[in-house]
Amino acid sequence: MTAFHVRLIEDTRAPVRGHRSLPWRAVAYLLPATALVGAVVVLPLVWAVVVSFDDGGHGYGALWTDHGIRHAIVNSLVWLVLAPVVCAFGLFLAWQARGVRRLGVLAAPIAVSTLVTAVAFRLLFTPGGPADALGGRFLGSPGIWPVLGLAFAWQWAGLAVVVFRAGLGRVPRDLTRMAQAFGHGRRRRWSTVTLPALVPAGALVLIVALLAAARVFELVLITAPGSEQAEVDVAGVHWWRWRLDVAESTWAALSVVMFLCVAALALALLWGLSRQWPNPVEEQEEPPPGVRGRVVAVLAIAVWLVPPAVVLLTSLHTPEAAASGGWWSGGFGFGSYRDAFASGELLDALSNTAVRSVGAALLLVVIAVPAAYALARGGLSRRTGRILIAVTTVVAVVPPQTVIVELGRVFDDLRLLGAPTALTLVHTALAVPLAVLLLRAAFVSARPDPDRVRLLDPDSVLFAVARESWPAVLTVAVLEFVLVWNDFVVGFLLGGPEAGQVTFVLYDQTREFTTSSGVLAAGAVVSTVIPLTLVLGTGKWLVQGFTQGVRR
């Protein structure tokens, strides 16, 4: 019986000493990303800090004395806390169902816009809706909170499941066995072997979830009925509703405070990202799943399918049947789809959104790949690298609502706003930091064929590394496409009508929710098909891309 074995592995990483590439190259690689993020994200943030002290810091006092703002801040903090909870739930599911294949479908909701998610959960829990029969008035207080929480969990827990599942598969079994041999208990093995192996990918998922929590806007706007809007208010929505009634310095202070909260949480996670696993772990044979694992997996998938099923079935009813009977009764027909396309607006919006999404995805890759390469192998000193990564992490989680006010003012003066190009740039800039983090993790562990690289010029190392890490590059592009496609809040606040975002067309229908539910559901299905197909089609590589950095 062999408990562990030893292998020789050649270290093909870029040499650290002696051949360190010239720093100017790294600087040049970092420049486009820095300029874009600096202009779109950092400058407005700095300006917000300046404005917040306009009246001697009274703005900060008002955050506490204005009950509405205080309530919204507390709610926003609840959302931020929910992000790690959802990730932990994902880890729990992944652990229970370890060994089970085909769990990837759980992550599919990341391709669904928050707006469509909100529509699905409102349809599900509306009075007279399917879940209403279970008892209680869900959309009222306090039932609205679990509904919002479930909607968020539905969207993000699946991603955590998939990433953690991949991580669990890579936990070095040799080490586990060794720990076992030394008589360590289950808990000790979990904390010394399993958890450290999960941390890098887990931190990335957590940051994604955190960002989603900080972005919460349309989920609240659409899921909660008007009478509950004040109860579930969050900072962004509160600002949108009350901005004319409160001093600008107070809003700036709110932006600063919200940013600090998110940044503090993100920094706390940073140690996870910067940690590197000491030995490469080869693909291992996974133990077959147990009965319990299978049951958990089947149950999870069944639950996950409920919201999309509700939307799909609602859309297949005539508008009249959808408004009155719901998806479980008769009245099938394609009338809702016909109505959804009737004005031609949906079709226009689809093409507008597609152009913008592709543009932003390409631009992001062009800008983020060199920057990530510079951070991973640019020959920067360890200290500089660490500082840059810390800054990138903090910038990655800046909630868009935070910078949009000041950004709008600057763009307004330049008369850039409403221009689709400007919107594309903003989308790209908002995604650059996260993309850099993800790509860096992959680039660090990439092992390009040294013979092919050395003969060519230094730039070719970049391409070789990027080629080697293509799943991560693809992941970044696909995620950005999906993010821009599904965006509501950035376009809503900055874009104006001619942004022609597909989510706007859906939002137009939400004012009279019941009588619009058929058309709304049809629009939701149509708008979801494209990003969903993309994510499902590339799913295998997305998981690889997300977890590539863990290989080392």
Q: Which position among 54, 55, 286, 320 is part of the footprint of other proteins (CB under 8 A)?
A: 320
Asked if 244 interacts with other proteins (CB under 8 A), we say: yes
Q: Whole-number minimum distance, CB 179 to other proteins, in Å?
A: 46
- Residue 210 or 346 having the CB closest to other proteins: 346
- Residue 394 or 487 having the CB closest to other proteins: 487
- Strand, coil or helix: what is 346? helix
Taking the CB of residue 342, how many other CB atoms lie within 10 A of it?
10
CA angle centred on 187, ends 185 and 189, rounded to 5°: 70
Taking the CB of residue 15, how many other CB atoms lie within 10 A of it?
13
- Residue 37 or 361 having the CB closest to other proteins: 361
Binding residues among 94-133 for other proteins as defined by CB under 8 A: 126-128
How many residues belong to the site for other proteins (CB under 8 A)?
A: 68
**Tokens representing residue 220 in the block:** 């609240």
What is the DSSP-derived secondary structure letter of residue 112?
A: S
Element (H, E) at 283: none
Terminal C-alpha separation, the chain? 27
Q: Whole-number minimum distance, CB 415 to other proteins, in Å?
A: 6
Q: Whole-number minimum distance, CB 385 to other proteins, in Å?
A: 24
Q: How far apart are CA 341 and CA 325, in angstroms?
A: 23
Q: What is the dihedral of CA 258, 263, 265, 267, to 10 degrees?
A: -170
- Strand, coil or helix: what is 182? coil
Buried b (16+ CB within 10 A) or exposed e, 159-171: bbbbbbbbbbbbb
x-or-dash pattern for other proteins, window 3-42, by CB under 8 A? ----------------------------------------
Q: Whole-number minimum distance, CB 435 to other proteins, in Å?
A: 15
Q: Which position among 241, 306, 333, 390 is part of the footprint of other proteins (CB under 8 A)?
A: 241
Binding residues among 510-529 for other proteins as defined by CB under 8 A: 510-516, 519
Residue reference for tokens 């208990």: 185
Q: Whole-number minimum distance, CB 463 to other proteins, in Å?
A: 7
Q: Whole-number minimum distance, CB 35 to other proteins, in Å?
A: 15
Nearest to 397 by CA among 215, 228, 127: 215
Q: How far apart are CA 226 and CA 144, in angstroms?
A: 12
Q: How far apart are CA 353 and CA 515, in angstroms?
A: 26
- Residue type at 178? M
Q: Which position among 19, 137, 338, 540 is part of the footprint of other proteins (CB under 8 A)?
A: 137
Chain centre to alpha carbon of residue 20:
35
Tell me which stretch binds other proteins (CB under 8 A): 157-165, 335-343, 442-450, 526-534. 335-343
Binding residues among 367-426 for other proteins as defined by CB under 8 A: 404-405, 408-409, 411-412, 415-421, 424
- Residue 390 or 419 having the CB closest to other proteins: 419
Asked if 470 interacts with other proteins (CB under 8 A), we say: no
Q: Whole-number minimum distance, CB 231 to other proteins, in Å?
A: 8
Residue pair 279/550 in contact by the 8 Å Cβ criterion: no
User: Dihedral of CA 521/527/529/535: which sign?
Assistant: negative
Cα dist from 274 to 26, 278, 387, 390, whole Å: 19, 12, 11, 9
Q: How far apart are CA 426 and CA 162, in angstroms?
A: 29
Q: Is the peptide bond before 142 cis (omega within 30 degrees of 0)?
A: yes
Chain centre to alpha carbon of residue 43:
23
Q: Which position among 53, 95, 190, 242 is part of the footprint of other proteins (CB under 8 A)?
A: 242
**Tokens representing residue 129 in the block:** 């809706």
x-or-dash pattern for other proteins, window 474-513, by CB under 8 A? -------------------xxxxxx-x---x--xxxxxxx
x-or-dash pattern for other proteins, window 190-229, by CB under 8 A? -----------------------------------xxxxx
x-or-dash pattern for other proteins, window 264-283, by CB under 8 A? --------------------
Length of the chain: 552
x-or-dash pattern for other proteins, window 336-365, by CB under 8 A? ---x--xx-x---------x---x--xx--
Q: Whole-number minimum distance, CB 250 to other proteins, in Å?
A: 13
Q: Whole-number minimum distance, CB 476 to other proteins, in Å?
A: 14
Asked if 452 interacts with other proteins (CB under 8 A), we say: no
What is the DSSP-derived secondary structure letter of residue 491?
A: I
Q: How far apart are CA 156 and CA 107, in angstroms?
A: 7
- Residue 428 or 445 having the CB closest to other proteins: 428
Give the binding site for other proteins (CB under 8 A).
Answer: 126-128, 137, 139-140, 225-230, 233, 237, 240-245, 319-320, 323-324, 339, 342-343, 345, 355, 359, 362-363, 366, 404-405, 408-409, 411-412, 415-421, 424, 459, 463, 493-498, 500, 504, 507-516, 519
